[in-house]
Amino acid sequence: MRCRQTALWNLREVNRPTLGLLNSIDRSKQPRQWQATISVPAPVGYAHPTEPQCSYDPVEGLTLAPDTDPIDKIRQLEDQISQLRQRLYEQGGNRSSSPGASGSDSGGITLPRASLAMSLIAPGSPGSRLRDATGSPDLSGGKKGDSDPFMDLLFSGWNPDLPDPARLNQYIDVFFKNDPCGSRVLHKPSFLAAMKLSPKDPGFPHSSILHAICASASRWNPTDVITLPDSTRRDQFAEFHASKTRQYIDKTMASGEDIFSVMQACILLSWYFYQEGRWVEVWIFAGFQTRVAVPLRLNYPGTFSTHGNNSPGAYLAPPKDLRDLESRRRTWWMTILFDRIASVGGWIHAVDERDLGTELPLRTEDFESEAHVPSNPQDLSTPDVFTRHPPQYTDAFLLLVKAVMLFGKVTDFNVRGNLRAPTPPSKSQNPFLLNGFKELDKLVCEDFLANLPPIFRNNAGITETTEGATVNTDLYMVHIIPHAATITLHNPYIDFTNNDNVSMSRCVNSAKQILKAFYSLSQESIDVTKLHPFVTICWYLAAVVLVQLCKHYIETGDQEREARIWGEINVLRFAMLEYGSRSPIGTRQERLLQGLMREIVRMTAQKHPLEVNVPLYPFSHRNQNQQQHGPTMDAASSLQNGQMYHQSSNASDRTLSPPNMNGVRLAPHPMNGANGAWPGAMRDISASPGQHNLDLLSSTSNYIGNGL
């Protein structure tokens, strides 16, 4: 039977034939005849054959060899697999080109199941370098080389769901260079050093963190992006790694294994969801993180407690060194910051401010250098924590923590004030008669920014270098978050019919400051998509005030000021759309703003209100020594109907104008931004507004625009 078994094995393993092909084998009775023959002793000088002489029908593609080397057979099989893989890649490797191919009627995203071990590796791709020319592991004992890197990588313990090491290191580098949120919880020097360890080493970064980094970093290095029917983008590579991170979170919640590392991965994933504008997941993860962190005692001073452990459960051991202590602090504070930011719509916080006993973090430079610095003497119970900033414990990140917590105080005030109030707040109400309002107003609207150290107060986060302007996104946010908090605090009490209404003055001034901060970015041609995603909420809050002001001007028939406010609303819309080109939260906020604008769009006499006056700055600092483009001021002001066209071949060179008082404002040609925004030529709406108590934006309302 040996020959029959050998043939059957070859057929199954090489060609996988159907049952009909198996039936084509010659089913002769030769094995039985051979057994009958050898049962009789052979005559002297004659030897029976050692095996039956079988014959088979020829099978196409099957080569029968009496003595087949197993290693050669394995290589033959691997070669066929490699050929099939390449054919499959050429025919359907780019699955993102056909989002509906998954057969799902729900319109959802099918997560790719490709991994390092099983993915379709394109010829010439970084992953193809892990295999030899045939794609087969080298089993020839040195004929093709000493070893196969692909198999060595798997045997080393590498997670096959992760990209290959070279590509993963690229994502890690992009993440630390660009991510303004989750990267704060990781100690970059030790993390990069740990990446050089063996994957089996206990010090190697946890796979959940690496998956979360891939999901976050793909925003700046997209590979597999599709556009959904609602015009939002979705990165399938990021979705795959986000799904893997969630699997680790689910596993840890069931077993408690590696809980701190997985919690850090959860923070990274939460910020990914926030930038995607996926609000349900944002809200769920905001509460989930805090509920996980509390049993770990991260809300205690020193992130550890030796008492109060009456509840069953496993808690973290004391921090083993200063780096571990500071990592826990930052993990806790980023959890709290995420909770505060997720709650700005007027939701209750997951952890009350009074239950935050953890001292504030150290400066980033001290954390990364592992300097032996005593713990920060400030926590939220410190009386002057928002107005006193010790130099040894102050940097942009620490000020950002304080600014967000300040916003959290406003949210707490609004939520608790409305909880048992018989009626909602109204513009006829004097909020300064409410208990605690006056003190909070003074802290938010005046004291916080006024008491910043001069080096931070006089710097909005923008620095000019020989290579161009850069922005410290933490410090930039420190300067606009108090204004967003002011709008949130005073917006219910705005009364535009009362020139003495303090809430109106506060809100309009804050909207002006947020606009001014945006102009400072656009003047320097800084990429706004690298800002903290919370900036889109600040822009939205400023736009809410301008929409109300625009409605007031429509109702009073002040077309000059109405047109000017339309231009400023569109500036903020453009900013959101620009941010949305990389992070969907911007597009979602702009869509939300358009819903708020429906009433004034119906009321206005402007023919194309959403096209009015997205001004362009005539030249940026990158080319200030070059000849100024476009017509001069006199020429521009003499154009018939105030219309001007100036073509630009590079959309990235367009920058919005900073405030100026030249009295002429011109609008650009069609923009190539998200959703096809800004169609058509826009009109000159230059104005010379008179003095008016309501017109607090006049210092930022006159522009001259010119495409670059």
Range from 69-73, 479-483, 637-641 carrying the lowest mean pLDDT? 637-641
Q: Does the structure show a pLDDT above 80 at 333?
A: yes
**Rounded Cα gap, residues 43 and 293, in angstroms:** 88
Looking at residue 614, what is its pLDDT? 54
Over residues 425-433, the mean pLDDT reads 91
Short-list 535, 489, 491, CA closest to 514: 535
Strand segments (E) across 122-241: 225-227, 233-235
Q: Which tens digits make up the pLDDT trace of 64-79?
A: 555 566 777 787 887 8
| pLDDT value at 235 more than 50 | yes
* C-beta of residue 683 within 8 angstroms of C-beta of residue 643: yes
Q: What's the burial of 162, exposed, middle or buried (CB within 10 Å: 0-12/13-18/19+)?
A: buried
Find out whether 1 and 9 touch, Cβ atoms under 8 Å: no
pLDDT reported for residue 16:
45
Query: So what's the pLDDT on residue 444?
Result: 97
- Judged against a pLDDT cut of 70, whether residue 251 lies above it is answered with yes
Better pLDDT: 124 or 188? 188
pLDDT at 456: 96
Q: What is the mean pLDDT of residues 12-40?
A: 57
- 339: confidence class by pLDDT, cuts 50, 70, 90: very high
Task: Give the pLDDT confidence score for residue 441 in this predicted structure.
Answer: 97
450 against 669, higher pLDDT: 450
pLDDT, residue 89, reads 53
Q: What is the mean pLDDT of residues 43-57?
A: 73
Q: Is the per-residue pLDDT at 674 higher than 60?
A: no
The more confidently predicted of residues 32 and 410 is: 410
User: How much is the pLDDT for 340?
Assistant: 97
Residue 657 pLDDT class (50, 70, 90 cuts):
very low
> Helix H segments across 57-163?
70-92, 149-155
- In the numeric block, the tokens 């809410």 are attached to 544
pLDDT of residue 292: 92
State mean pLDDT over 171-200.
95
Q: Decide which of 362 and 52 is more confident.
A: 362
Question: Average pLDDT, stretch 361-372?
Answer: 95
Q: Is the pLDDT of residue 183 over 60?
A: yes
Strand partners, 465: 468
Q: CB–CB of 371/393 below 8 Å?
A: no
Lowest mean pLDDT among 461-465, 491-495, 606-610: 606-610
- How many Å apart are CA 583 and CA 589, to the nearest integer? 11
In the structure, what pLDDT confidence band is assigned to residue 304 with cuts at 50, 70 and 90?
A: confident
Report pLDDT digits (tens) over 541-567: 999 999 999 999 999 999 999 999 999
**Which one of 115-129, 585-599, 693-707 scores highest in mean pLDDT?**
585-599
In this prediction the pTM is 0.70
Q: Kindly report which listed range (292-306, 477-491, 661-675) carries the lowest average pLDDT score.
A: 661-675
What is the Cα–Cα distance from 678 to 570, expressed in whole angstroms?
9
- The pLDDT of residue 349 is 95
Choose the weakest-confidence range: 221-225, 511-515, 636-640. Answer: 636-640
pLDDT(106) > 70:
no
Q: Which burial class, exposed, middle or buried, applies to 338 when counting CB atoms under 10 A from its CB (0-12, 13-18, 19+)?
A: buried
190-216: average pLDDT: 95
The pLDDT value recorded for residue 116 is: 46
Region 95-123: mean pLDDT is 36
pLDDT at 224 over 50: yes
Structure-model confidence comparison of residues 664 and 156, the more confident one: 156
Instruction: Give me the pLDDT at residue 144, please.
Output: 45
411 falls in which pLDDT band (50, 70, 90)?
very high
Q: 161 vs 82, 178, 302, 704, CA distance in Å?
A: 20, 24, 36, 53
Cβ-based burial of 376 (10 A; exposed 0-12, middle 13-18, buried ≥19): buried
Kindly indicate the confidence band of residue 39, based on its pLDDT and cuts at 50, 70 and 90.
Answer: confident
Higher local confidence (pLDDT), 365 or 119: 365
Tell whether the model's pLDDT for residue 395 goes beyond 50.
yes
User: What pLDDT score was predicted for residue 148?
Assistant: 66
Q: How far apart are CA 572 and CA 587, in angstroms?
A: 12
Average pLDDT over the chain, rounded to whole?
Answer: 76
Q: How confident is the model at residue 60 (pLDDT cuts 50, 70, 90)?
A: low
Question: 255: pLDDT confidence band, cut at 50, 70 and 90?
Answer: confident
What local confidence, expressed as pLDDT, does residue 424 receive? Answer: 87
Q: How far is CA 208 from CA 178, 215, 251, 264, in A?
A: 20, 11, 11, 9
SS3 track for 450-465: HCCCHHHHCCCCEEEE
62 class by beta-carbon count within 10 Å (0-12 exposed, 13-18 middle, 19+ buried)? middle
Of the chain, the percentage scoring pLDDT greater than 90 comes to 53
Name the more confident of 89 and 660: 89
Measure CA 281 to chain center. Answer: 14
Contacts of 56 (CB under 8 A, 6+ apart): 7, 25, 26, 64
Check whether 598 has a pLDDT greater than 80: yes
pLDDT at 450 (0 to 100): 97
What does the pLDDT read at residue 67?
Answer: 59
Distance between CA atoms of 357 and 442, rounded to whole angstroms?
Answer: 25
